[in-house]
Amino acid sequence: MSTASGLQLEPEYPNPQRRGLKKGVYLIPSLFTAANIGMGFFAVMASLRGFQLLGQPNPDISWAAAYFDNAARAIGWAVLFDMLDGRIARLTKTTTEIGVQLDSIADVVTFGLAPAVLAYVWGYGASLTEGTPAHQFGWFISFMYLMCGAFRLARFNVQSSRPRILAEGTVKVDKKSFVGLPIPVAGGLIAAIVHFSPIPLINFGAERARIYSVLLILLMGVLSVMMVSTLRFSSFKTVGTRVRSMRVVIFALAVAMLIFLYSQYVLLAIVIAYILHGLLSRVVGVFSRRADTTESKVEPHAIRHDG
């Protein structure tokens, strides 16, 4: 480009964007989501393989238990991947609509289908006589668990989109808590139970296996109801984002080391503690509201007007 004085000036161009690097950053959360789906597929295949071994004339219980334990471990790893993909997407500001939908599909497979199959093949599917009402009810409960989990994820997607359509009068969702039990927690509880005792229930004898199977069916039903309920559970999305101190790092390392050394006990304790925390918070909230209502009714009567 030339000027009036005849000097030649180099054309000004904006700095080229590093599109390749930017696209690579967007792929990172999707890779964790893909790993989530992979773990779910592995859990289903391992569960079916263990169930196949139980159907042989002289089944090797220890070999089948190894497959069930691997399926439970895969679901546990999927919980970690599910936590990381959303957190990384928020930290890198690479959240996309297709990523949100893909994450929900992954959760249906990994925390809906895989735990339902694992609970059936490890528990009541092998211990209850096929064709009996109890066995058919176990089929029904596994199906309802899957359906309630899918409904829970669909409701979550709708609630997540509410802040964008506030003009239509929709209430903004509190991102600090989940409405209903998160499906990774429900699937994680089933996986933690199997990891705690991977030996299939059929190995405990006919009577005890039948009792344990009924309890497992009841647990699956309770988890299904909790997923579609209005109970609020903490999301912990703000943990580690505002306060970055050595105490948080030390606590995270301590929990990781405890899981590495005592995974059978620690994982089950963590999931149960999370569920009890949500239930107890609801109970405390109900009593607090009742106390506030009682005080509001008493205060007007305490006002006295002298004539």
Q: Give domain status of residue 267, yes or no.
A: no
SS3 78: helix
Q: Give pLDDT tens digits for 59-86.
A: 889 999 999 999 999 999 999 998 887 7
- Residue 307, pLDDT > 70, answer no
User: How far lies 197's CA from each of 65, 190, 231, in Å?
Assistant: 9, 11, 29
pLDDT average, residue stretch 236-254: 70
**Direct distance between the N- and C-terminal alpha carbons of the chain, in angstroms, rounded to an integer:** 94
Judged against a pLDDT cut of 70, whether residue 296 lies above it is answered with no
Any domain includes 92:
yes
Q: Give, in order, the Cα–Cα distances in Å from 261 to each of 98, 163, 191, 258.
A: 38, 42, 17, 5
In total, how many domains does the chain have?
1
Range list of H helices, 230-302: 246-261, 263-298
Residue 14 in domain: no
Tokens for 290, please give them: 């009742």
Total residues found in the chain within this entry: 307
- Among 94, 108, 113, CA closest to 30: 94
Q: Could you tell me if 65 and 199 are in contact, meaning their C-beta atoms sit under 8 angstroms apart?
A: yes
Does residue 283 belong to any structural domain of this protein? no
Per-residue model confidence (pLDDT) at position 19: 54
* pLDDT value of residue 163: 52
Question: Rounded distance, CA 32 to CA 109, Å?
Answer: 15
CATH (domain of 143): 1.20.120
CA dihedral 38, 269, 282, 292 (to 10 degrees): -140
CB 185 within 8 A of CB 110: no
Q: Is residue 303 part of a domain?
A: no
- Specify if 276 maps to a domain: no
Do 224 and 148 contact (CB within 8 A), yes or no? yes
The per-residue pLDDT of the chain, averaged, comes to: 81
**What are the angstrom distances between the C-alpha of 99 and each of 22, 91, 95, 284?**
16, 14, 7, 36
Q: Which tens digit of pLDDT belongs to each residue from 1-59?
A: 544 445 554 555 454 444 555 556 667 878 888 999 999 999 999 999 999 999 888 88
DSSP assignment letter at 180: S
Token digits of residue 289: 């509201």
* Residue 302 lies inside a defined structural domain of this protein: no
Q: So what's the pLDDT on residue 235? A: 76
Instruction: Output the pLDDT for position 15.
Output: 46
Q: How confident is the model at residue 115 (pLDDT cuts 50, 70, 90)?
A: very high
- Owner of token pair 């919980």: 79
- Tokens 């994820």 sit at which residue? 153
- CA 261, 264, 270, 273 torsion-angle sign: negative
Specify the DSSP element, H or E, that contains 179. strand 177-179
* Domain extent at residue 197: 21-162+172-238
Is the CB of residue 209 less than 8 Å from the CB of residue 284?
no
In a domain, 266, yes or no: no
